């Protein structure tokens, strides 16, 4: 069984200007064919694995949360189930903590390879993040462009998972929503345009 990347119990978040005790996450699920749709309503950080649960090839999980977890925590939850995998992502903003965690997972062979597509403004907003990535990735695995898409793809021989949502790779107490798609067709679609953009192959022309 793949080793847990970190204990999400140890992570806590304080909702700004709100000291009231808030309710725990409530999740409901329904199935339509081979699709699984989960609606999540939450007002504090809960363990991502408890709410999302186990993933399964052929299923989609739709989620909405309010500061319940960050994109890198969701990525960790997926990797805990897939085992070592190739990862690529695109994002508009990314935190140093998220990148340090991702690079640590590369060192530990949890992530076998990494491709990153970032908005060019990271040079101004997060120069320390850009330096970290440039030091650890080659020019063929990292590219800056006009990018607002928030996508992550996790692939190995057994799994193909794509996460498409509103959240950047940052800590954010706002409402976020997205879809976890356990479909190789969807994963290949996102792999194609991300890699073509990284390689300057103009996927949108």
E strand or H helix at 148:
none
Does residue 23 lie in a domain region? no
Q: Give the per-residue pLDDT at 171.
A: 84
State the pLDDT confidence band at 165, using cuts at 50, 70 and 90.
very high
- Biggest alpha carbon–alpha carbon distance for the chain: 51
The whole-number average pLDDT for the span 180-200 is 96
Average pLDDT over residues 15-37: 44
Is residue 182 a part of any domain in this protein?
Answer: yes
Instruction: Say what percent of the chain tops pLDDT 90.
Output: 61
Q: How much is the average pLDDT of 110-118?
A: 96
- Residue 204 pLDDT greater than 90, yes or no: no
Give residue 84's pLDDT.
98
Residue 204 forms part of a structural domain: no
Domain assignment present for residue 14? The answer is no
Residue 190 is assigned to a structural domain of this protein: yes
| Residue 19 belongs to a domain | no
Asked whether the predicted pLDDT for residue 86 surpasses 50, the reply is yes
Q: What is the mean pLDDT of residues 135-158?
A: 95
pLDDT of residue 46: 57
Residue 69: predicted pLDDT: 84
Per-residue pLDDT, 27: 46
Instruction: Provide the 10 A C-beta neighbour count for residue 148.
Output: 10
Spatial contact of 90 and 147, defined as CB atoms under 8 Å apart: yes
Find the CATH number of the domain harbouring 73. 3.30.870.10
Q: How far is CA 54 from CA 12, 58, 77, 82, 154, in A?
A: 22, 12, 9, 10, 15
- The angle formed by the CA atoms of residues 148, 112 and 138, to the nearest 5 degrees, is 60
Separation between Cα atoms, residue 58 and residue 181, nearest integer Å: 8
Can you read off the two tokens belonging to residue 197?
């953009």
**Full-prediction pTM beyond 0.85?**
no
* pLDDT over 50 at 23, yes or no: no
The arithmetic mean of pLDDT across residues 136-141, rounded, is: 91
Across 44-72, average pLDDT: 81
Residue 37's pLDDT is what? 56
Return the number of other C-beta atoms located less than 10 Å from residue 127's C-beta: 10
Q: How far apart are CA 199 and CA 176, in angstroms?
A: 30
- Establish if 205 belongs to a structural domain: no
In whole angstroms, give the CA distance from residue 144 to residue 123: 9
Specify the pLDDT at position 154. Answer: 98
Q: What is the residue range of 40's domain?
A: 28-198
Q: Give the chain's domain count.
A: 1
Q: Is 180 inside a domain boundary?
A: yes
Q: Please name which of 161, 187, 178 lies closest in space to residue 78, comparing C-alpha atoms.
A: 161
């Amino acid at each position: 069984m793949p080793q847990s990347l970190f204990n999400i119990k140890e992570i806590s978040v304080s909702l700004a200007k709100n000291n009231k005790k808030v309710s725990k996450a409530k999740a409901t699920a329904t199935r339509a064919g081979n699709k699984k749709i989960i609606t999540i309503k939450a007002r504090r950080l809960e363990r991502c694995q408890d709410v999302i649960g186990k993933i399964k090839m052929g299923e989609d999980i739709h989620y909405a949360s309010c500061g319940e977890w960050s994109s890198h925590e969701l990525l960790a939850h997926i990797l805990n189930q897939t085992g070592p995998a190739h990862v690529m992502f695109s994002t508009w903003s990314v935190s140093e903590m998220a990148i340090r965690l991702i690079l640590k997972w590369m060192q530990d062979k949890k992530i076998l390879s990494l491709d990153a597509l970032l908005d060019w403004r990271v040079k101004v907003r997060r120069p320390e993040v850009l330096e970290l990535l440039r030091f650890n990735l080659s020019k063929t695995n990292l590219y800056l462009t006009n990018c607002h898409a928030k996508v992550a793809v996790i692939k190995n021989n057994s799994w193909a998972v794509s996460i498409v949502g509103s959240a950047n790779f940052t800590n954010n107490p706002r409402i976020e929503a997205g879809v976890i798609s356990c479909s190789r067709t969807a994963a290949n679609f996102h792999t194609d345009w991300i890699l073509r953009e990284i390689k300057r192959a103009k996927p949108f022309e």
